[in-house]
Amino acid sequence: MARIVMKFGGTSVADTDRIRRVAGIVQRQQAAGHEVAVVVSAMAGETDRLVNFCREANPLYDPSEYDVVVSSGEQVTAGLLALTLHAMGCKARSWLGWQLPFRTDDAHSKARIDQIGTDAVLASMAAGEIAVIPGFQGISEENRVATLGRGGSDTSAVAVAAAVKADRCDIYTDVDGVYTTDPRIVSRARKLGRVTYEEMLELASVGSKVLQTRSVSLAMKEGVRVQVLSSFVDENSPSADDLPGTLIVSDAELGTGELQGSDMESQLITGIAADKNEAKITLTRLADKPGAVAAVFEPLAEANINVDMIIQNVAKDKGETDVTFTVPQSDLPRAIAMLEGKQEEIGFYRLISDDRVAKISVVGVGMRSHAGVAATMFSTLAERAINVLAISTSEIKVSVLINADETELAVRVLHTAYGLDGADQG
């Protein structure tokens, strides 16, 4: 017997028919002898709809009331799943954020998890009841409903798995695992049997939205065994216990005999991700002297605007230089207003912005021991006349900024260049 936390995303619970299929998957895991807790998302599209209501009601909405509205989608699916399980003869009950309690801080709309009460839910699971928990929601220090940020149900599931010391956290979605790149963009993308926490963290943070970044860092910190797998399966497909999806593993586990020869080890690059949510800002003719760039980036940091890629051109005549950097697209208007407001103080000539850019990243632990990954990336893009606007790197990642129109082409040619292509699924 094992203790399993199962999480189902929006498309997996999109309507009552899909919820019935989910209930069938949950029932089978319990029938296999496991203690089961289930974390659910809102129905596909529901959170977007609720966010729009908030914007219509008041564009300058109060985040704590926004949380009251947007957390409701998960409450509906949790209740519906419990009802459906009852109809199938299973014992089940829902546990809302405030009932567990799922304690968070007061940062409404992007709350961080403090602690999860587990006594009641463990007792209920031990008594053979399926615990159904709405993802995304918790209760703040001031006892108000709080949400964890978009995509946050993945993080809820991992947090519950860590709190109840689950043997596994299965994240059910609409693809059957983590692929070398988004299989909806590249039909030759290959499913990975295993991927390390570190690589998954990089992939998620540079745009592979299959898992929320925070869920991966939490799983890594707490040592939660995570499997990504599909809920779009029939009764004859292999059990989740046979690990048919992608397992997120530690470096050490990747090196063990059981996993040797996995697709991960022989591969220099594990995956490629694209992110169209960044925007580029160039400030021209900035003074090339100590303190000039600090005058740009300090106020951005104070305004809580995350700067990602940065390039500073070689100084031209007159000791002046251009600086280019990227910020999240959603923060672009704020960043422009703030910088233009300080134009004289900072001392630049023009601000040029562009939100039609995309960041393409290649990720792989193999980069640590092999040279030439970046060179392959630049020459492959150059062969297709794709212009590189900015570059950034980490130990296991190289990212480039390109024109958004070239995203699909860039991902496809890089996928081929790094030898990642599998059989065409398209």
336-356 residues labelled b (16+ CB within 10 A) or e (exposed): eeebeeeeeebbbeeeeebbe
User: DSSP letters of 9-35?
Assistant: -GGGGSSHHHHHHHHHHHHHHHHTT-E
The item of Mg ion, ligand ASP, ligand ADP, none sharing an interface with residue 29, based on CB under 5 to 8 Å by kind, is none
Burial class (CB in 10 A: 0-12, 13-18, 19+), 387: exposed
Q: What is the phi/psi pair of residue 280, to 5°?
A: -110, 140
Q: Is 92 helix (H, G, I), strand (E, B) or coil?
A: strand
Span of 178-186, 290-298, 320-328, 345-353 interacting with ligand ADP by CB under 6 A: 178-186
Does 271 interact with ligand ASP (rule: CB under 6 A)? Answer: no
240 DSSP assignment: G
Output the smallest distance, CB 227 to ligand ADP, in A: 13
Q: Which of 134, 151, 177, 245 binds ligand ASP (CB under 6 A)?
A: 151
The item of ligand ADP, ligand ASP, Mg ion, none sharing an interface with residue 210, based on CB under 5 to 8 Å by kind, is ligand ADP
Does 137 interact with ligand ASP (rule: CB under 6 A)? Answer: no
Span of 77-85, 135-143, 146-154, 326-334 interacting with Mg ion by CB under 5 A: 146-154
Span of 148-156, 202-210, 217-225, 418-426 interacting with ligand ASP by CB under 6 A: 148-156
Contact status, residue 160 vs residue 215, Cβ threshold 8 Å: no
Output the smallest distance, CB 74 to ligand ASP, in A: 6
Q: Considering only residues 269 through 288, tell me which ones interact with ligand ADP, judged by CB under 6 A.
A: 271
Q: Which of 110, 144, 150, 285 binds ligand ASP (CB under 6 A)?
A: 150
Q: What is the phi/psi pair of residue 116, to 5°?
A: -125, 125
Does 136 interact with ligand ADP (rule: CB under 6 A)? Answer: no
Torsion of CA 282, 285, 290, 292, to 10 degrees: -50
Output the smallest distance, CB 103 to ligand ADP, in A: 23
Q: Cis bond leading into 244, ω under 30°?
A: no
Joined together, the tokens standing for residue 83 give 């009802």
Positions that interact with ligand ASP (CB under 6 A): 9-10, 41-42, 47, 73, 135-136, 150-154
Positions that interact with ligand ADP (CB under 6 A): 9-12, 41, 151, 173-175, 178-179, 181-184, 208-210, 271
